[in-house]
Amino acid sequence: MYTILWDIKATKALKNIFDFYKPKSIKAAHKVKDDILATVSSLCNPPKYSYDPDLGAPFHRVVSRRRYRIIYFQDSNSKQIEILYIFDAIESSDRLKQVMAE
Protein backbone atom coordinates (compact mmCIF):
# COMPACT_ATOMS: atom_id res chain seq x y z
CA MET A 1 0.00 0.00 0.00
CA TYR A 2 1.41 3.36 -1.05
CA THR A 3 0.97 6.72 0.65
CA ILE A 4 -0.23 9.55 -1.57
CA LEU A 5 1.45 12.95 -1.22
CA TRP A 6 0.32 16.09 -3.08
CA ASP A 7 2.69 18.71 -4.48
CA ILE A 8 1.41 22.28 -4.14
CA LYS A 9 1.26 22.57 -7.96
CA ALA A 10 -1.09 19.59 -8.12
CA THR A 11 -3.30 20.99 -5.35
CA LYS A 12 -3.54 24.34 -7.14
CA ALA A 13 -4.27 22.62 -10.46
CA LEU A 14 -7.14 20.66 -8.88
CA LYS A 15 -8.59 23.87 -7.42
CA ASN A 16 -8.28 25.63 -10.80
CA ILE A 17 -10.09 22.76 -12.54
CA PHE A 18 -12.88 22.90 -9.96
CA ASP A 19 -13.12 26.69 -10.30
CA PHE A 20 -13.30 26.40 -14.09
CA TYR A 21 -16.39 24.15 -13.96
CA LYS A 22 -18.04 25.80 -10.95
CA PRO A 23 -19.70 28.78 -12.77
CA LYS A 24 -21.16 26.40 -15.34
CA SER A 25 -22.45 23.81 -12.85
CA ILE A 26 -21.48 23.15 -9.24
CA LYS A 27 -22.60 19.56 -9.72
CA ALA A 28 -20.28 19.14 -12.73
CA ALA A 29 -17.42 20.76 -10.82
CA HIS A 30 -17.80 18.24 -7.99
CA LYS A 31 -18.13 15.34 -10.44
CA VAL A 32 -14.88 16.21 -12.24
CA LYS A 33 -13.05 16.76 -8.95
CA ASP A 34 -14.39 13.49 -7.51
CA ASP A 35 -13.34 11.59 -10.64
CA ILE A 36 -9.80 12.97 -10.40
CA LEU A 37 -9.62 12.14 -6.67
CA ALA A 38 -10.90 8.61 -7.31
CA THR A 39 -8.24 8.12 -9.97
CA VAL A 40 -5.56 9.34 -7.56
CA SER A 41 -6.89 7.05 -4.79
CA SER A 42 -6.58 4.07 -7.12
CA LEU A 43 -2.82 4.62 -7.08
CA CYS A 44 -2.56 3.41 -3.45
CA ASN A 45 -2.19 -0.12 -4.84
CA PRO A 46 -0.52 0.90 -8.03
CA PRO A 47 0.16 -0.96 -11.13
CA LYS A 48 3.06 0.94 -12.56
CA TYR A 49 1.51 3.09 -15.25
CA SER A 50 3.51 4.09 -18.27
CA TYR A 51 5.94 6.95 -18.27
CA ASP A 52 4.48 10.21 -19.42
CA PRO A 53 5.19 10.53 -23.16
CA ASP A 54 6.12 14.22 -22.89
CA LEU A 55 8.21 14.09 -19.71
CA GLY A 56 9.69 10.58 -19.82
CA ALA A 57 11.20 8.74 -16.88
CA PRO A 58 10.85 9.01 -13.91
CA PHE A 59 7.44 10.68 -14.34
CA HIS A 60 4.43 8.38 -14.65
CA ARG A 61 0.98 9.38 -15.74
CA VAL A 62 -2.53 8.08 -15.53
CA VAL A 63 -5.47 9.62 -17.35
CA SER A 64 -8.77 10.17 -15.58
CA ARG A 65 -12.03 9.55 -17.40
CA ARG A 66 -12.43 13.27 -17.87
CA ARG A 67 -9.32 13.86 -20.00
CA TYR A 68 -6.98 14.93 -17.21
CA ARG A 69 -3.45 13.55 -17.04
CA ILE A 70 -2.30 13.02 -13.49
CA ILE A 71 1.48 13.27 -13.39
CA TYR A 72 3.12 11.49 -10.49
CA PHE A 73 6.38 10.09 -9.19
CA GLN A 74 6.40 6.63 -7.64
CA ASP A 75 9.05 5.88 -5.02
CA SER A 76 9.05 2.11 -4.50
CA ASN A 77 11.58 2.29 -1.66
CA SER A 78 9.51 4.56 0.58
CA LYS A 79 6.15 3.32 -0.77
CA GLN A 80 5.10 6.86 -1.63
CA ILE A 81 3.46 8.38 -4.67
CA GLU A 82 3.76 12.11 -5.14
CA ILE A 83 1.07 13.74 -7.27
CA LEU A 84 3.04 16.41 -9.10
CA TYR A 85 0.53 18.00 -11.44
CA ILE A 86 -2.89 17.56 -13.02
CA PHE A 87 -2.92 18.55 -16.65
CA ASP A 88 -5.73 18.94 -19.19
CA ALA A 89 -4.80 16.55 -21.99
CA ILE A 90 -5.86 19.07 -24.66
CA GLU A 91 -3.28 21.61 -23.47
CA SER A 92 0.06 21.94 -25.20
CA SER A 93 2.71 19.50 -24.04
CA ASP A 94 5.10 22.47 -24.03
CA ARG A 95 2.95 24.00 -21.28
CA LEU A 96 3.27 20.81 -19.25
CA LYS A 97 7.05 20.86 -19.60
CA GLN A 98 7.10 24.53 -18.58
CA VAL A 99 5.02 23.92 -15.44
CA MET A 100 7.09 20.91 -14.41
CA ALA A 101 10.32 22.90 -14.81
CA GLU A 102 9.10 25.62 -12.41
8-34: pLDDT as tens digits? 999 999 999 999 999 999 999 999 999
The number of distinct structural domains making up the chain is 1
| pLDDT at position 70 | 85
Model pTM score: 0.78
Say how many CA atoms lie within 13 Å of 3 toward its Cβ: 5
Range of the domain at 19: 3-101
What is the domain-level CATH number for residue 28?
A: 3.30.2310.20
What does R_g of the chain's alpha carbons equal in angstroms?
13
Residue 47, CA distances (Å) to 3, 12, 42, 74, 89 in order = 14, 26, 9, 10, 21
Q: What is the mean pLDDT of the chain?
A: 81
Task: Respond yes or no on whether the N-terminal peptide bond of residue 58 is cis (omega within 30° of 0).
Answer: yes
pLDDT in tens, 51-101: 666 666 666 666 666 688 888 888 778 888 899 888 877 666 666 666 766
